[in-house]
Amino acid sequence: MSAFHNRTRRSPSIPRKLLREGKFYLVPLYYLLLTSDLASEGIRNSGSYRFADHIYAGKPGGKYLVGYLLDALFLRMKPARSFRARYLFAKDEILRFIRSKQADGPEIEILAVPCGLAREMFEAAQELRVGGHPLYEKTAWHGLDLDPELIARLSKRAEDSSHNMSFRCGDALLEGSYGRGYDIIISLGLGEFLDDAHLLEFYKLAHAHLKPGGVFVTSGIKSQRFSDYLLRNIGELHTYYRSATDLRAFANETGFKETRTYHDPTGLLTMMVAGDQFPLVSPEP
Ligand SMILES: C[S@@+](CC[C@H](N)C(=O)[O-])C[C@H]1O[C@@H](n2cnc3c(N)ncnc32)[C@H](O)[C@@H]1O
């Protein structure tokens, strides 16, 4: 059965859970955190696409001045900066890949899975269109996510934007959701919620659905003690932390022949590009 792997909260009431566990000192903090848009989204809906996109957008919001200030503080902290960097890196990888291709080459197919609000795709497509890039017209953008409401919203947005984008509802861990081969598969914000066995299964699906010369772009994050403590105890937001070595080991076990990894300036984030051809992405012309 399909599962929303990002929805990790189990307790109906966090304050009651904290009291049960004897962590009464965290209850006032819980109520304070609810004033920040980011923290309240994390507490209510765990690792939702709204939570992720609030960080990507980087615009503080909250109830009263205190909520706004708290939110601004969270967005400036290391883990949030790393988190934001992953969508910017993903967008760069897309643009770099497309710009490395010949204008008279075949159509380029890009998939984001799970797509969430697909910020990296909308921004990359817009940059290519505004810049008059010859491959803009030849690029097809696809998004896959398990949330039907989100898919309906994105389909409307794609229509309004008139980019060549299509979104569909499906389980990232099911073969039947993929349908075709892609030049780039981007995956942000799923691997962190998958245990090792599911992550391997997911990487295998991505590998099997890449066209020759295609690349899989994904990320992993290292733990930061303070934010991990808050996320686990107050948000019940449980994630798997993995290093570059871990991500590469999964890619190798999957059968990818080449991997390239790099970090954001804080060192918490690892981006990985995996494929079967070397070089993975040609340098920018
Ligand atoms: C943290 S968000 C990340 C979304 C997006 N990639 C981003 O970076 O903003 C997690 C997304 O995974 C989706 N999701 C969770 N389990 C899924 C599954 N089994 N198959 C497809 N999508 C899933 C959720 O609906 C949600 O949109």
Angle at 124 between CA 120 and CA 57, to 5 degrees: 40
Is the shortest distance between the CB of 42 and ligand 1 below 6 Å? no
Q: Give 248 Cα–ligand 1 centroid separation in angstroms.
A: 22
Full-model pTM: 0.94
Q: What's the pLDDT score for residue 281?
A: 66
pLDDT at 226: 86
| 189 Cβ closer than 6 Å to some ligand 1 atom | yes
134 C-alpha to ligand 1 centroid (Å):
31
- Would you state the pLDDT for residue 118? 97
Q: What is the pLDDT of residue 237?
A: 87
Percent of the chain with pLDDT over 70: 98
Tokens matching residue 226: 């303070």
Q: Is 6 in the pocket of ligand 1 (CB under 6 A)?
A: yes
The pLDDT value given to residue 277: 86
Ligand 1 centroid–CA 19 distance in Å is 31
205 ligand 1 Cβ < 6 A: no
Distance 23 CA to ligand 1 centre (A): 31
What pLDDT shows up at residue 47? 86
User: In this predicted model, what pLDDT tens digit does every residue of 138-165 receive, in sequence order?
Assistant: 999 999 999 999 999 999 999 999 999 9
Task: List, in order, residues 6 or more apart from 227 with CB less than 8 Å away.
Answer: 77, 79
Q: Which helix (H) or strand (E) holds 108?
A: strand 108-112
170 with 113: CB under 8 angstroms?
A: no
Cα 190 to averaged position of ligand 1 atoms, centre (Å): 6
Residues of the chain where predicted confidence (pLDDT) is lower than 70: 279, 281-285
* 4 touches ligand 1 (CB under 6 Å): yes
The CA distance from 190 to 6, in Å, is: 7
Predicted pLDDT at 285: 44
Amino acid identity of residue 227, one-letter, is S
- Could you report how far apart the first and last alpha carbons of the chain are, in Å? 46
CB atoms within 10 A of CB 195: 10
* Closest atom, ligand 1, to C-alpha of 172: 20
Kindly report the protein residue whose alpha carbon is nearest to atom 5 of ligand 1. 116
Q: Using CB atoms within 10 A of its CB, is residue 197 exposed (0-12), middle (13-18) or buried (19+)?
A: exposed
Ligand 1 geometric centre to CA of 117 (Å): 9
The answer, yes or no, to whether any atom of ligand 1 lies below 6 A from the CB of 148, is no
CB of 151 closer than 6 A to ligand 1? no
